[in-house]
Structure 1
Amino acid sequence: MRRWQDGRVTDAPAIPPLAEILASARVVALPLATRFRGVDVREAVLFEGPEGWTEFSPFAEYDDAEASTWLAAAIDYGWMPQPAPVRNEIHVNATVPAVAAASVPEVLARYDGCRTAKVKVAERGQTLADDIARVRAVREAMGPEGRVRIDANGAWNLDEAEHAIHALAEFDLEYVEQPCATVDELGELRRRVGYMDVPIAADESVRKAEDPLAVARAGAADLLVVKVQPLGGVRRALEIVARAGLPAVVSSALDTSVGLAMGVTLAAALPALEYDCGLGTASLFTADVCAPALTPKGGVLTVGRVTPDAALLDEHAASVEQRDRWLARLTRCHALLQG
Structure 2
Amino acid sequence: MLPPLADLLDSARVVALPMHTRFRGVDTREALLFEGPEGWAEFSPFLEYADAEAATWLAAAIDFAWRAQPEPLRDRIAVNATIPAVEASDVAEVLARFAGCRTAKVKVAEPGQTLADDVARVRAVREAMGPEGRIRIDANGLWNVDEAEHALHALTEFDLEYVEQPCATVPELAELRARVKYMGIPIAADESIRKSTDPLAVAREKAADLLVIKAQPLGGVTHALQIVTAAGFPVVVSSALDTAIGLSQGAALAAALPTLEYDCGLGTASLFLDDVADLRPVDGFIPASRVTPDAAALTRLAASEERRGWWIDRLRRCHALLDAS
TM-score, normalised on structure 2?
A: 0.99
Structure 1 residue runs of 5 or longer lacking an equivalent are 1-13
Counterpart residue number, 1:58: 45
Quick check: 1:312 aligned with 2:312?
Answer: no
Within the candidate set 276, 298, 320, 2:283 is matched to: 298
Please give the alpha-carbon distance, in whole angstroms, between the structure 2 residues aligned to 1:209 and 1:142.
34
How far 1:81 sits from its partner (Å)? 0.1
Within the candidate set 87, 93, 105, 1:100 is matched to: 87
Report SS of the residue matched to 2:64. Answer: helix
How far 1:137 sits from its partner (Å)? 0.2
Within the candidate set 100, 120, 124, 1:133 is matched to: 120
Structure 2 residue runs of 5 or longer lacking an equivalent are none
Report SS of the residue matched to 2:17. Answer: strand
Counterpart residue number, 1:332: 317
Quick check: 1:27 aligned with 2:37?
Answer: no
Match of 2:289, as an amino acid?
G
Report SS of the residue matched to 1:262. Answer: helix
Please give the alpha-carbon distance, in whole angstroms, between the structure 1 residues aligned to 2:35 and 2:50.
24
Percentage identity across paired residues of the two chains: 73
Within the candidate set 112, 124, 135, 1:148 is matched to: 135
Counterpart residue number, 2:308: 323
Q: CA RMSD in A?
A: 0.3
Counterpart residue number, 1:5: none
Please give the alpha-carbon distance, in whole angstroms, between the structure 2 residues aligned to 1:311 and 1:88.
27
How far 1:303 sits from its partner (Å)? 1.0
Counterpart residue number, 2:271: 284
Please give the alpha-carbon distance, in whole angstroms, between the structure 2 residues aligned to 1:303 and 1:207.
22
Counterpart residue number, 1:228: 215
Please give the alpha-carbon distance, in whole angstroms, between the structure 1 residues aligned to 2:45 and 2:311.
10
Quick check: 1:18 aligned with 2:11?
Answer: no
Quick check: 1:163 aligned with 2:150?
Answer: yes
How far 1:126 sits from its partner (Å)? 0.2
Q: How many residues align?
A: 324
Match of 2:296, as an amino acid?
A
Please give the alpha-carbon distance, in whole angstroms, between the structure 1 residues aligned to 2:151 and 2:15.
38
Please give the alpha-carbon distance, in whole angstroms, between the structure 2 residues aligned to 1:143 and 1:244.
34
- Superimposed CA distance per residue, residues 266-298 of structure 1 (whole angstroms, 9 cap, x where no aligned partner): 0000001000000000000000001xx101100
Match of 1:59, as an amino acid?
F
Report SS of the residue matched to 1:335. Answer: helix
Match of 2:144, as an amino acid?
N
Report SS of the residue matched to 1:163. Answer: helix
Counterpart residue number, 1:3: none
Counterpart residue number, 1:4: none
Counterpart residue number, 2:226: 239
Counterpart residue number, 2:171: 184
Report SS of the residue matched to 2:247. Answer: helix
How far 1:54 sits from its partner (Å)? 0.4
**Aligned residue runs from structure 1 range 197-212, under 5 A:** 197-212=184-199
Match of 2:270, as an amino acid?
S
Write out the 4+ residue segments of structure 1 that deviate beyond 4 Å after TM superposition: none
Counterpart residue number, 1:11: none
How far 1:118 sits from its partner (Å)? 0.0
Quick check: 1:124 aligned with 2:111?
Answer: yes
How far 1:302 sits from its partner (Å)? 1.0
